[in-house]
């Protein structure tokens, strides 16, 4: 998988963890059309790889996680070309959100505009204490188009999201932590290690269970409580006949660590 992409560096880590690095440091890891296509391809491929158990997504260098869309490429686009390119971006964002395995963002620097929207599509995020965040699109004559007007209010609340989006106001790593935008702040040199540790803990659990639990949380929050509970039981029942369920119970009773296979 490492040699498959030009703008994305993918490394296999132990226990089925993948470290995916946006590899365009010279433009603050902004995504052009090719980068968006490669991100889309990568995340859509994960569902068919049972050995993949968790993804950590970060940016190359220490300046930026992702600055959003590459505005130099967009500068020459006609209106129809702009719309066509944005459809590629839309598919990319949805591919991250719909990835069946957990995706953790390791935010190593600025996460602006589409970069913040990309981070918000991940399941949760750790960030460097030097990270900065903003949805700045209104200052460019556009507006968030990668889910930002929907994902940010669900995290920080409607009124705070309006302040941040309508003013295009940057916010700090400390504010991001206090508002629940990120789960943990790390020293810059420890960010990747701590995020990989979290990914490793996830990857050590039964992969089918993790996938179904993620789906139940993600989809259940889009409906009412009773419907969400029904969805949970549906997901639960898919696991009862699995080999991993049997192995987990055996290992508990035999006082040993389970060996999950994803079956």
Q: Catalytic: which of 38, 90, 117, 234?
A: 117
Q: What is the 3-state secondary structure (H, E, C) of the chain?
A: CHHHCCCEEEEEEHHHEEEEEECCHHHCCCECHHHHHHHHHHHHHHCCCCCCCEEEEEECCCCEEECCECHHHHCCCCHHHHHHHHHHHHHHHHHHHCCCCCEEEEECCEEECHHHHHHHHCCEEEEECCCEEECCHHHHCCCCCCCHHHHHHHHHCHHHHHHHHHHCCCEEHHHHHHCCCCCEEECHHHHHHHHHHHHHHHHCCCHHHHHHHHHHHHHHCCCCHHHHHHHHHHHHHHHHCCHHHHHHHHHHHCCCCCCCCCC
What radius of gyration do the chain's Cα atoms show? 19
Decide the pairing of beta strands 110-112 and 132-134.
parallel
Q: Which of 141, 213, 151, 140 is nearest to 179 (CA)?
A: 151
247 catalytic per annotation: no
194 catalytic per annotation: no
Q: Catalytic: which of 87, 137, 158, 194?
A: 137
Catalytic annotation, residues: 117, 137
């Amino acid at each position: 998988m490492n040699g498959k992409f030009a703008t994305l560096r993918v490394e296999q880590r132990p226990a089925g963890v993948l470290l995916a690095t946006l590899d365009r440091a010279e433009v603050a890891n902004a995504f052009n059309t090719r980068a968006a296509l490669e991100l889309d391809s990568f995340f859509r491929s994960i569902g068919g790889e049972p050995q993949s158990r968790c993804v950590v997504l970060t940016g190359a260098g220490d300046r930026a996680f992702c600055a959003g869309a590459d505005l130099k490429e967009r500068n020459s686009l006609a209106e129809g070309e702009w719309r066509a390119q944005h459809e590629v971006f839309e598919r990319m964002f949805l591919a991250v959100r719909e990835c069946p395995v957990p995706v953790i963002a390791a935010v190593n620097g600025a996460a602006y505009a589409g970069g913040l929207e990309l981070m918000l599509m991940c399941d949760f995020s750790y960030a460097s204490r030097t990270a900065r965040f903003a949805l700045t699109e209104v200052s460019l004559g556009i507006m968030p188009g990668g889910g930002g007007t929907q994902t940010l209010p669900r995290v920080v609340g409607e009124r705070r999201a309006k302040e941040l989006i309508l003013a295009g106001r940057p916010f700090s790593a400390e504010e991001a932590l206090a508002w629940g935008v990120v789960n943990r702040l790390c020293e810059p040199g420890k960010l990747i290690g701590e995020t990989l540790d979290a990914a490793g803990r996830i990857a050590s659990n039964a992969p089918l269970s993790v996938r179904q639990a993620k789906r139940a949380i993600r989809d259940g929050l889009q409906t009412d409580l009773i419907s969400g509970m029904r969805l949970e039981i549906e997901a639960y029942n898919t696991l009862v006949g699995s080999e991993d369920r049997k192995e987990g119970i055996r290992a508990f009773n035999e006082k040993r660590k389970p060996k999950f296979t994803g079956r």
